[in-house]
Amino acid sequence: MPPTVTEPLVKTVRVIPPTIVIDQTSTVKRQLRTAAYCRVSTDSDEQELSFEAQVAAYTDKIMSNPEWSLVGIFADEGISGTQADKRKDFMRMIRMCRKGKIDQIITKSVSRFARNTVDCLNYVRELKQLGIPVIFEKEGLNTMHMTSEIYISMHGIFAQSESESLSGNVKWGKQKSAEKGNVAISYKNFLGYRKGADGKPEIVPEEAETVVTIYDWFLDGDSIRTIKYKLEAAGRLSPTGKTTWSESTIRSILTNEKYKGDALLCKTYIVNCITKESKKNTDRPQYYVTNNHPAIIPREKFDRVQMELARRGSLKKKRQTGVKTELGKYSSKYALTELLICGNCGTAYRRSVWSKNGKKKAVWRCISRMEYGTKYCSDSPTIEETVLHRAIVEAIQEVVNDNGCQLAIKNLQAHIRMYYGSSDDNCLAADELRLNQLIAEVMNRAKQSDADSEEFLALSQEIAETKKRIAAKKEQQIAAHANEVRMNEVLGTLDVLKNHPIDYDDSVTRKLVDCIKVVSKNELLIIFKGGIEKTVRME
């Protein structure tokens, strides 16, 4: 049977028109179903009245707007706001939003909506996807008007609102109290002070004597560990009333600004209101109160101690793999351990004791030469300690009797004051004012619905640059003040030594000398604080 001939298939295309949907909402504008959320976080009578006032205020606000209809006032009374699942009315409001029964939410502030940043962002994002804006009255924000870039930048505002709201009115009250300079002092374990009849700090003489002694010993060159042993040997009582001392307690006493009559407020703050984790305050306002109470330690002495702490801290042990030598190590036992250096290789000298025929002799030797021989340091003489001490005393005596040296130090002080004087203070004040203006501008732009992310970036960069300038100028001022204090100490020590016989003393050497370089077996170059240099012969 012959095969059947079929006609070729003809491809056709049929257009399916779109379904026309009649938008009935465009003809009839219905009212926005509005819900309000309010909350107070304490159980005090005053806060309960505030709770009732919020409910009444939001009811009136919504009912008086012809474009809004009241869905309900959702309120959690006297319940912690750290976790959303503990707020029953908040969760009921969210469930109604998911069911399409609410068109918008108004609330007083971010902190009233949620103190947990993660919860806040998650719920705001979910509501935005549902087409439901959240209006924060205090911040002037509408979450539906924020672009993606601005939305991300608002994360910082949410976090700030969270931390600022910690502990509610208690934290707010502490902040306002700090702004006014009101200092709350805990007298428990506070050596040297007790609460006076007028409620202000009062010095306890016998305890204050211990504090002064600690400062004096430290400035004389004692290490914190040495001070601990000396206090225990003397039977001095610690802040807890015991005869045993810890090094951390002594360090705390040496760094506590209250001993010079001042008080630094807001030293720490709570980072996470859920975990109650605290953090040292380095990025938020602090308040420094000057002359708050009688001082035990003079300001100049306190500042000298802080500089000496910083100096010793910079001389930390530096080890290299396979190397036993510790360079830059602070030693309270011998001042020359950190001052005496080899003129050939730059390594520090170390004290050694040689014994011969039953007699002992102290000498100082280059550490590199001791450890590795002439390969690392080919020319570094060994110096007898008695010879070294005589040469140092001779140099100090020359400076004491040379009025020109003291005049040079005073001229250097005047130059530093002129260089870092009032003009620099004015520049710093101008930068700090500009920084506050930039921060205010960022906050204002964040409230605008048409804010540009590029503008935010430019402002952020200018804020970072301004902060950098402020930090650099403050460092310069601190360095200038440190130099002036050091030179005052040198001048004071030189004045005391005038017309008095001088014997070698480690504490005097520490106060006057910056560095001693061993030039040769017969010569030392002694560099004094203030820049004066003296070359002395050793015989």
pLDDT of residue 384: 92
pLDDT, one tens digit per residue, over 459-468 is 778 888 888 8
Across residues 202-211, what is the average pLDDT? 95
Helix (H) or strand (E) holding 68: strand 68-77
Binned at pLDDT 50, 70 and 90, residue 3 comes out as low
Could you tell me if residue 79 is left (phi over 0), alpha (psi between -120 and 50 degrees) or otherwise beta? Answer: beta
Helices (H), 114-184: 117-129, 148-164, 169-179
Distance CA 13, CA 129 (A): 38
pLDDT of residue 445: 66
**DSSP labels, 229-291:** HHHHHHT---TTS-S---HHHHHHHHH-GGGGT-EEE--EEEEETTTTEEEE-SSS--EEESS
Binned at pLDDT 50, 70 and 90, residue 217 comes out as very high
Q: In this model, does residue 156 exceed pLDDT 80?
A: no
Burial of 224 by CB count in 10 Å (0-12 exposed, 13-18 middle, 19+ buried)?
buried
pLDDT of residue 145: 76
Binned at pLDDT 50, 70 and 90, residue 81 comes out as very low
Binned at pLDDT 50, 70 and 90, residue 152 comes out as very low
Of residues 478 and 221, the one with the higher pLDDT is 221
Assigned token pair, 363: 């000498």
pLDDT of residue 131: 92
pLDDT of residue 269: 72
Across residues 465-489, what is the average pLDDT? 77
Can you state the percent helix, strand and coil of the chain, rounding each to 5?
Answer: 50, 15, 35
Positive/negative CA dihedral, 282, 285, 286, 290: positive
Distance CA 319, CA 323 (A): 7
- What percent of the chain lies above the pLDDT cut of 90? 23
Assigned token pair, 208: 């204050």
pLDDT of residue 319: 40
| Mean pLDDT over each residue of the chain, to the nearest integer | 77
pLDDT of residue 248: 93
pLDDT of residue 24: 46
All domains in the chain, ordered by first residue: 29-163 (3.40.50.1390), 193-311 (3.90.1750.20), 381-539 (no CATH)
Which is nearest to 300 in space by CA: 435, 154, 492? 492
Q: In this model, does residue 78 exceed pLDDT 80?
A: no
pLDDT, one tens digit per residue, over 421-443 is 555 666 878 888 888 888 777 76
**How many Cβ atoms are within 10 Å of 173's Cβ, its own excluded?**
11
Let me know: does 293 contact 258? Beta carbons within 8 Å.
yes
Across residues 519-531, what is the average pLDDT? 88
Let me know: does 538 contact 391? Beta carbons within 8 Å.
yes
Lowest pLDDT segment from 281-290, 326-335, 498-507 = 326-335
pTM for this model (two decimals)? 0.48
Backbone phi and psi for residue 331, each to the nearest 5 degrees, phi listed first: -130, 125
Let me know: does 256 contact 302? Beta carbons within 8 Å.
no
Of residues 389 and 168, the one with the higher pLDDT is 389
Let me know: does 344 contact 369? Beta carbons within 8 Å.
no
Q: How far is CA 338 from CA 141, 349, 430, in A?
A: 60, 8, 41
pLDDT of residue 331: 60
457: three-class secondary structure by DSSP: helix
Of residues 481 and 470, the one with the higher pLDDT is 470
Q: In this model, does residue 496 exceed pLDDT 80?
A: no
Across residues 177-202, what is the average pLDDT? 85
Binned at pLDDT 50, 70 and 90, residue 447 comes out as low
Binned at pLDDT 50, 70 and 90, residue 300 comes out as confident
The one-letter code for the residue type at 429 is A
Q: How far is CA 137 from CA 104, 155, 266, 395, in A?
A: 13, 17, 28, 73
pLDDT of residue 50: 64
Q: In this model, does residue 483 exceed pLDDT 90?
A: no
Let me know: does 412 contact 531? Beta carbons within 8 Å.
yes
Helix (H) or strand (E) holding 491: helix 453-497
Q: In this model, does residue 510 exceed pLDDT 80?
A: yes
Binned at pLDDT 50, 70 and 90, residue 412 comes out as low
Burial of 149 by CB count in 10 Å (0-12 exposed, 13-18 middle, 19+ buried)?
middle
Angle in degrees, CA 461, 145, 452, rounded to 5? 25
Burial of 169 by CB count in 10 Å (0-12 exposed, 13-18 middle, 19+ buried)?
middle
Burial of 168 by CB count in 10 Å (0-12 exposed, 13-18 middle, 19+ buried)?
middle
Angle in degrees, CA 316, 321, 325, rounded to 5? 50
41: three-class secondary structure by DSSP: coil
pLDDT of residue 257: 92
**DSSP labels, 394-405:** HHHHHHHH-HHH
Positive/negative CA dihedral, 40, 44, 48, 53: negative
Cα 62 to its chain centre, rounded Å, is 45
Binned at pLDDT 50, 70 and 90, residue 480 comes out as confident
Radius of gyration, alpha carbons of the chain: 36
